[in-house]
């Protein structure tokens, strides 16, 4: 029975991963072609340049995938903080850990949308508990699937506490305090960097913005950029510099929870 349930869960996970990968590929392809079209029109005034600019599809795909990974990571960490708080409240009220997980699922289902990753993971935990699997095993699978350090540490400590008769409420309290302190530091960093990120985006878009303004206000002033090879070479260098600066600043300003 357990092996059948595990196999079915693995199949569902594999199917969900493949679906997400295809969605990411289609999204990145559409976004990439849109960016390439804008660059070809503004920088070269020719759709022909869309062909060599296809080399940008790969970095755009990587950028979208990385942004999705960061967003999913934040959702998991913030959702897990809510799970810990709900579990601790239920345990302090006298619920067992199994019932506390069921209560937590009901609370988070009303707080988040049904397809939120934390709600989905909690639903799998409750389903596993109903199949007579221990909560610590389900939290360990939760940690392995999400690859979140805090969840993995909590699953390890919970397993040790359950096997040795430790104070589960105190463990939850310490884990939640540790997680919330990290989240507060990260949010402070993000708020302090938000202005710099906005300035960075404006500066990166400025060359194309100035060029677009000149084309609309005085087309003859920039015609030479499109009619001679030196102009095309200059615009290629500008685009390469913009791409280099973009990924460099993204690397510098990346903030992980």
Q: What is the pLDDT of residue 236?
A: 87
Which residue in 199, 226, 246 sits closest to 42, CA to CA? 226
What was the pLDDT predicted at 257? 47
Q: What would the mean pLDDT of 35-54 be, rounded to a whole number?
A: 86
- pLDDT band for position 254 (cuts 50, 70, 90): low
Mean pLDDT along residues 20-32? 78
Own/partner contacts of 204-209, CB < 8 Å, gap of 24 or more, are: 204/242, 204/245, 204/246, 204/249, 207/238, 207/242, 208/38, 208/39, 208/42, 208/43, 208/242
Q: Mean of the pLDDT values across residues 194-212? A: 83
Is the per-residue pLDDT at 97 higher than 60? Answer: yes
Q: How confident is the model at residue 74 (pLDDT cuts 50, 70, 90)?
A: confident
User: What backbone phi and psi angles, to 5 degrees, belong to 233?
Assistant: -65, -40
Average pLDDT value over all residues in the chain: 81
Q: Where are the alpha helices (DSSP H) in 93-116?
A: 97-111
C-alpha triplet 79, 120, 107: angle, nearest 5° = 55
Positive or negative torsion for Cα 111, 79, 133, 6 = positive
Mean pLDDT of 112-130: 88
Confidence class for position 5, pLDDT limits 50, 70, 90: low
């Amino acid at each position: 029975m357990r092996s059948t349930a595990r196999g079915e869960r693995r199949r569902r996970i594999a199917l969900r991963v493949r679906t997400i990968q295809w969605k990411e590929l289609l999204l990145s392809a559409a976004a990439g072609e849109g960016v390439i079209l804008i660059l070809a029109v503004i920088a070269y005034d020719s759709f022909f340049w869309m062909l060599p600019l296809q080399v940008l599809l790969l970095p755009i795909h990587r950028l979208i995938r990385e942004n999705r990974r960061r967003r999913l990571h934040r959702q998991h960490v913030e959702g897990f903080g809510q799970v810990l708080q709900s579990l601790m409240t239920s345990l302090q009220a006298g619920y067992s850990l199994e019932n506390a997980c069921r209560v937590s699922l009901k609370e988070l289902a009303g707080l988040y949308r049904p397809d939120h990753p934390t709600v989905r993971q909690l639903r799998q935990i409750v389903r596993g508990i109903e199949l007579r699997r221990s909560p610590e095993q389900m939290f360990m699978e939760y940690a392995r699937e999400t690859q979140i350090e805090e969840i993995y540490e909590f699953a390890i400590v919970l397993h040790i506490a359950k096997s040795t008769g430790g104070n589960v409420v105190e463990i939850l309290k310490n884990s939640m305090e540790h997680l919330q302190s990290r989240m507060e530091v990260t949010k402070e960093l993000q708020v302090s960097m938000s202005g710099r990120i906005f300035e960075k985006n404006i500066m990166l878009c400025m060359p194309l913005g100035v060029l677009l303004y000149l084309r609309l206000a005085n087309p003859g002033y920039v015609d030479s950029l499109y009619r001679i090879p030196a102009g095309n070479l200059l615009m290629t260098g500008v685009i390469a510099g913009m791409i280099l600066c973009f990924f460099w600043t993204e690397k510098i300003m990346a903030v992980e929870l």
